[in-house]
Structure 1
């Protein structure tokens, strides 16, 4: 199963200058719990934005048209190669950025979508438009803002409606 993990602002924004628009420790904790022990697929910009390089306890796969060295990660030239690499794993995760989300969305079976309840007009990176008629919501969990998380969020678990 191919799953997408993404946090999206109310205006569809996901980043600015190759960085996140927010720091939400609770969402980062959920991300770690969800992806640990699994393969993760990301683009080269996302890989380079990771503060400590390859994410530990996960198989890091970097999807890039250009073959490069990605310390601690494997390289895939196309979405199809990345899919072959994960084979029949129970669940593999696509973690960004925008071009990789767009390329992998047709293959996705599930989306873990964190809706950040704020707008970021200065953002320069956006998640592709989702056709919600293709998706069913399995669950929705609300998380209020608190002293460590500046924005309220809602975690939506979506599955493709075949």
Structure 2
């Protein structure tokens, strides 16, 4: 059985995204750079499930160091996870992906960043309880 996890960064008020990107994308402060490095380190060698927008944003080097799978809303989360028995599977992406996979996620690894600006996507605490919110 796969070990299903989610790893994400949120702003001070739970901000996740803004116009299809992370609101702090491109920020050079040390805490932001450390978060990106940690993400790539923690997911190395594992499976990363992501939606289409996130998939298109993944740099080429990342595909060589992990199994990256583009998922769609038409796919059944249980069936996707079942393809990777005995692997660590990270569920990445955004609200729609986490809402669909929340019941299967065993570990949530959340980094709170000092960002406190605008957003149009937010972290839903209901995901932590395994519900789609």
Give the TM interval when normalised to the shorter protein: 0.7 to 0.9
| Structure 2, unaligned runs of 5 or more | none
Q: Which has the larger radius of gyration?
A: 1
Partner of 2:78: 80
| Structure 1, unaligned runs of 5 or more | 67-76, 135-162
Q: In the aligned structure 2, how far is the partner of 1:39 from the partner of 1:101?
A: 15
Partner of 1:102: 99
Kept in 2, the 8 Å contact 1:15–1:125? The answer is: yes
Partner of 1:69: none
Partner of 1:8: 10
Partner of 2:33: 25
Q: CA RMSD in A?
A: 2.2
TM-score normalised by L of structure 2: 0.80
TM-score normalised by L of structure 1: 0.67
Aligned length: 122
Kept in 2, the 8 Å contact 1:101–1:128? The answer is: no
Larger relative helix fraction: 2
